[in-house]
Amino acid sequence: MDPYFEGKKVIVTGAGKGIGRLLCITLAKQGAKVIAISRTAKDLESLKHENASIEVYSQDISDWSSTRKLIEDIGLVDMLVNNAAVDRKKPYLEIKEEDFDYLYNTNIKAAFNISQAVVKCMIEKERCGSIVNVSSIAGINPVHSIGTYSCTKAALDMMTKSMALEFGPYKIRVNSVNPTVVMTTMGRAAWSAPGVADNILKRIPNGRFAEEIDVVNAIVFLLSDKASMINGIQVPVDGGHHTNFL
């Protein structure tokens, strides 16, 4: 248990699977009061079964009004991790309006909405805090056939910087982590077939994709007091992938 996290309230979105789920379990073990949000009730039931201390809410965060009400009802928290994201792997010429809206409504609009509600409460209650946005190296460098997703992550990175600039005077820090491919269950299914990952792996100096724990460790660090002078940055969790996009 980390004394810094003991009793701290933290919201994690996209908490049902992968990075979000592991993050919830990790923070709960550190003594934090974890509030897990996911649109999939079954995943939340499983998470609650694994750690009964975690508070769970089933919510489609792309719905602005109901999400805002939920966050306002939750009230004051110390930390927020905007982890929820969706993707539709299509080249630009195949993206339709509904695809565009689907990606932006979850990946950027929902993060903006939730962050705004959380920060308003922090400022009103004169509480310092920390926010981490889970972005992607696709927000730093383009990746073929996920251009619209990349645009949402680039927007999230700029939102991170803008929030850090505006909220730093209130002692509210905002940073992002930018992973390469992460070996979640979905990641392994997509990238484990022979030859599929070769073109990307050869561009990663460390020679491997990220594991969930690699991203979780970076998030926990940025949330903690060990990162008290780190604000408004993007942290690539990518084994050097961002250095080798030629």
If phi > 0 it is left, if psi is from -120 to 50 it is alpha, else beta; for residue 240 that is left
- Which residues, 6 or more positions from 3, have their beta carbon under 8 angstroms from its beta carbon? 31
DSSP for residue 207: S
Task: Name the token pair of 128.
Answer: 């310092």
Task: Name the token pair of 214.
Answer: 């690699």
**149 catalytic residue (yes or no):** yes
In which residue are the tokens 């903690």 written? Answer: 224
State the catalytic residue, choosing from 153, 170, 171, 226. Answer: 153
State the catalytic residue, choosing from 57, 149, 170, 226. Answer: 149
Closest CA to 184 of 154, 152, 216, 206: 216
User: Does residue 74 sit in helix, strand or coil?
Assistant: helix
- Distance in angstroms (rounded) separating the CA atoms of residues 27 and 33: 8
If phi > 0 it is left, if psi is from -120 to 50 it is alpha, else beta; for residue 171 that is left
Cβ neighbourhood burial of 194 (10 Å; 0-12, 13-18, 19+): exposed
**104 catalytic residue (yes or no):** no
- Which residues, 6 or more positions from 195, have their beta carbon under 8 angstroms from its beta carbon? none
- Distance in angstroms (rounded) separating the CA atoms of residues 125 and 117: 13
DSSP for residue 192: -
Closest CA to 229 of 164, 177, 166: 164
What positions carry a catalytic annotation?
149, 153
